[in-house]
Structure 1
Amino acid sequence: MSNRVISINLKQTLTWGTVLCGLVISSFIISISYVNQRDMLLESYEARLRQNFTHLGRHLFTEFVEGNDNQISLTLEDYYSDGKYKALFLIQGETLLNESQHSAVGLQVFNQVISQAQVTATLRTLDLTVAFDPNQQHFLAAIPISPKVPVAESADLVRLIAIYDVSTVFLSLKQQLITKASILAVFLILIIIALLSFTHYFIHKPIKRLIQVGNALSTKSLSSRADIVGHGELGVLAKQFNVMAQTLEKNWQQQLQSTQELQRRHALINSVFEALPDIFFIINTDGTILECHTGKSDDLYMSPEQFINKKMSEVLPSHAAKHFSQAIKSANQRHQLTQIEYPLTIADQAKLFEARLSPIPGTDQLVIAVRDITEKKRQEEVILHHAFYDSLTDLPNRFLAMERLAQQLFDAERNDELAVVFFIDLDDFKRINDSLGHETGDQILIASGERLKQSLREQDTVSRLSGDEFIVLMGGFKHTADITSVADMLIKLFHHPIIVDDKDFNISVSIGVAIYPLDANSPQELLSCADTAMYNAKSNGRNNYCLFNQKMSQQLSRRIEIEEALRVALNEHELEVFYQPQFYIENSDVFGAEALLRWHSKTLGNVSPAEFIPVAEQSGLIIDIGLFVLSTAINQAHQWQQHLDSDIRIAINLSPRQFKDPNLLKQIELLVKDIPIANRFIELEITEGVLISGQAQVKQTLTQLHQLGFKLSLDDFGTGYSSLNYLRHYPFDLLKIDRSFISDMLTTHESKALVKTIIAMAHNLSMKVVAEGVETLEQLRLLQQLECDFGQGYLISKPLSAAQFESFYHTKIEPVKRSS
């Protein structure tokens, strides 16, 4: 006997079975009802016609005998009043009697709707005949006019013929049947719904729940249970399902517990592999390699399988093995991440690798992630070199030179020695550039720098500041006579021609000499003194040197005049804040301005900021002047935000002397408290001179300003003397590239490369970049290509008064598109 059991889709079978049964039953009932009512109506109308015609035939016969033709017509008209008569007329043979309008129409209808055979039979009938035509839905009735029927055939026999239409009765019957069918259909639907509801809740739903539990169990959701109550077959089946699920869940938990430790270890290793790239090792505490994984086999000098069960000291050179041994020991002792760098030679190529060692919790093993950082280090070195060295001559730039000068002054003070700055300028170098071109000029600059470098001691510094200006930093002097000897030597050094492309160029130099501590006590002041002395040497005929002295009176007198006039400038309202628009490099949209101070003295006339700002800085007047600029600019920005642009920003310069003022932070806080403007719209610019002291107060003040929400900008980047480390140690938001680099970047590849490097470096440090001195469309397009963020310069606008700036801000500036 076969054990096979056939299954059907119970839900569909019951649903469609119920619907089909209901349709068949309702159709049968409606059909039976219709046929019965139709037959009853036909019998009723046929009996009525027979009775009426028998009576009418006798009546008409009487009237015929008496010769009452009018009464016959009235009788027929009276019967016509029943609207169902389509024809009612008297005929003798084929001749119409009583030719009234109704009789004529009746005869015409009779001939049209009755077949010829029926017409012939009707006209010859000898007895009462009533016949129903189902197609035309009418009765055809005929009776001889005689007191008694049937009668014998006679040529003068008169017959009464009628067509009785019952189509409207049939139509009414059908409408009644449709109404009854609708009521029956509604009743049937209700029965089907009730039946389907019953099957849904008590059959379909329990079966569906059992299927869901079965599917859940098949996907290892072993906590699923069939919550079916009752004592029927499905309830018993649900209980068996629940027992089975409970048993499976218990067995599965036991299996999970037996593999939990293995999965944990495997998950830890996989998480490390997924988080870190390149090469991975799993080692134990003595350095034995247990596993090796890599996605870059070219970083290995042997296959991963060859590392297994070997110690790190066996597969690495001695110097690298020593680093690893110390790192493994440190990682085990500290139980924290340890990082080392070590060089390796692979395929005759020197590479630098970084290894990170991390203990695996709960084990005596470590995971090591190794990555090739050769290219990363090379890029860092290139960036640092560009930041500290001149791109043309490869000599230290102003950054590095001023940092070394600060150290040199510190050593001179400690050793009670003299330190010297020789400021060297090539005479008539502009003439060479203009006549022979920049390429020849660049070669002369390179040769001049190399000649200076070769003639000095290793501890001395030769730096190119800008253009044709060099400085030489020397220390260890005891007497000024030794310094003048060096100056003579530097002058004579250029008495020999410089050879470029087999051509001799006779170049002379003018040198300014400033001595610490005789002439100045700070790097910036000492450099300024040497610069002044150099210009004095040029004015004395060039090709010589000049030691700085305090009798270089014009400059000193001018400085005194400026200082005296500056002391009353604030009270006399001679100072005015101008605003140079700042814009987005991408689309030239103006978003703010830099506040710039202008001075029209009643006694001196218009005085350049380059002239009076250093005097104010040295005299200390910059404290009050700086506060005036801060207050005016912040108040003006607030007014513009009220009626010009709610997001307009203002950039304000803070001098090194201001940063020495312990009240600076408090004054700024009071200003923004009195003037309701969000701190994020205020950008505070400082020069690199602020950072050179390295004072803790400077860092603390900058950090507090940044925490208060002010934007911090490092101004004139590239011309100062601070270390790049300051960019990491101070919370700057923006870098401003000095205008000298912007003006040269279209003419020298080196300047362009340096601008590109500064922008890339700033972006890598999450800083924005402002380009100063943007004066041409070509400069703007190049800055767009280098992805510089902001700019300012005469291309967009010169510095403007507050009223001029408002008018300018409403002027639409045509955006400059990137060049393809």
Structure 2
Amino acid sequence: MWNRLGIKWQLILIMTLVVTLVELTTLFSVLNIQSTQSKETAVSQVEAVTKSLNNDFLKVILNPTTDAFADISNRLEAFSNVTGIILVNDRNETVYMHGMVKNIKIHKEQVVQNLSLFTQNSLFIKKELIMDGYSYGYTLVDIDLSNHKHTQEEIAWSIIAIFPFALLLGLVVSFFLGANYTKPFTQLLNAMKKSDPTHEKITLVQTNAKNEIKELFSGYNNLMQQVLDSSKELHFQAEHDQLTSIKNRYYIEEQIKAVLKDESELTYNLLYLNLDQFKLINDSAGYQAGDELLKMIASDYANILPEASIFSRVDGDAFMVLLKDSDKKDGLDILEKSLEKLHDFRFTSENESYSVSASIGLIHFKSFEYTFKELIKAVNSALYSAKVQGRNKGYVYNPDDDITERFDTELKTATFIKEALVSGPSRFELFAQDIVPLQYETDMYSYEILIRMWDKDNNFIPPDNFLPTAQRYQQMHEIDIWVLWTYLETVTQNPEHIEMLHSAHINLAGSSLTNPDFQAKVKEAVTHFNFPWHKLELEVTETSAVGNFAKANEFILWLKNIGIGLALDDFGTGMASFEYLKSMPFDVVKIDGSFVKDMHTDPTDRAVIKYIQEIAQLNNQETVAEYVETQEDVDALREIGITYGQGYFLGKPRPLKDWL
């Protein structure tokens, strides 16, 4: 309630309370002082009575004659405020009473015990009669205080009579102060109400004051100017890409949503551009060079676009162009010019020259033909179709194309993957396949962890279907995190299983090794789970290892220090040389199954397997042969010296829960 009142009314209320408090304090203080003085006066009067009549009281006690009583009564008549008096001798006998003694008798016991007693209108007091050190008795005196009370009431009413005038004066002062001292705040309030920095509108305030008001106004003006400048900056940042200064995703998406709801009959074109192999330039020339390339493309490419078009960067190496009020031919013309412009683009960094190209998807549409999500999905499909055809290709969206259907399928699969990563309704499950020692027998077991997926309708989706999709949609590091964490969470609850485990192999995408989220999760797992880390082998395929191991060197060294092993998967199918095999810190080399499958009919394949085994042995690396399908395969591999075998003949994949 108080916070809702204006400063002026708060000031008036405060002044009213102050005046009232001062008035009440004055009233009670004066009354208290008057009461104290009245009591002191009454006590003094008793002292005067007893002192002046002390000898007379003693005469009455010692010689209680009629003349003595008459004499003392005459003298007491001179003390008008003495209501009554009782004289008691040393034998506690009442020898004399004067005036109204009824109240004295009522309070006698208290007065005798406490020596004095104040009531509303009287003072009762006991005074000893002493002569030459001997007590002859005492007097009980009742002093009338009504005159004092009347004086107190007069004073109180005088103070109360002053109160309205004091209150009126306080209100006048309050209004004066309120009018003068709240005026600056009113000015500020009105200025703030009129200002709207988000729409570049501010109202400044002026004053002739030389005191704190001037500082307050100056501070407000400076603040509003800063807010205005910041609003302009934020408005620019909200609509522009920080790196290239062209429009950003938010801006073009809002524009697309607007034209989709436009009541006019205009048609539009939307182009979705993605630079080809931009990651390769980033990896070889560095991120700074990649950023420079993006800025150059944004600046140069904008020159071929119509003035009314909206050009924006929507992702790392992806751009969108919205052509307003344009027919299908306009869209095709821009598509052709875009491909030509980007194909001819050359980029030089540190004396290295790079050619640039882009894949472009195009969709022609009109208002209300699509929802926003449908339109974005369609242009994504067109871009996907362009990429399928190779580099520097364009594609116009056609909902009936096979490629479009394939894109829709991949999009659904990517959705299933997202669901499985958060436990439903689609789901992942871990399987394990035996890795069997060929050179010795043991009761301990080794296996490779495999992942399987079912969609929300419990339809099985083969890994060959969903893993390439995950790669394209940059979901592999999330899958790798899920596999590693779920495996550790499962087996660490079964200590007996871990005790009999020789090694567990888990496949990784090469890109996961350089992914900060994956690296952080592995480090978290090491502190979270009680697992013998020397029993864990992380597998990376030959092709992905070549591009990622150098960049993940620090993380790989950390893995090795923890004791986690590294395996090179599918060796022999990529472009890695035996020199590369020797130079990298692999503990295990897995030989691609294509060599095993044909080694009985192709001497070259058998020779490759043997050569890999010899090189690995020299490097103190173990070997695993994949796709072992027959006893004949086992015998041949054992003879060559291969350490382990893996394949359906040695053991089919089984759910991990069946191993526990």
Return the TM-score normalized by structure 1.
Answer: 0.33
Return the TM-score normalized by structure 2.
Answer: 0.40
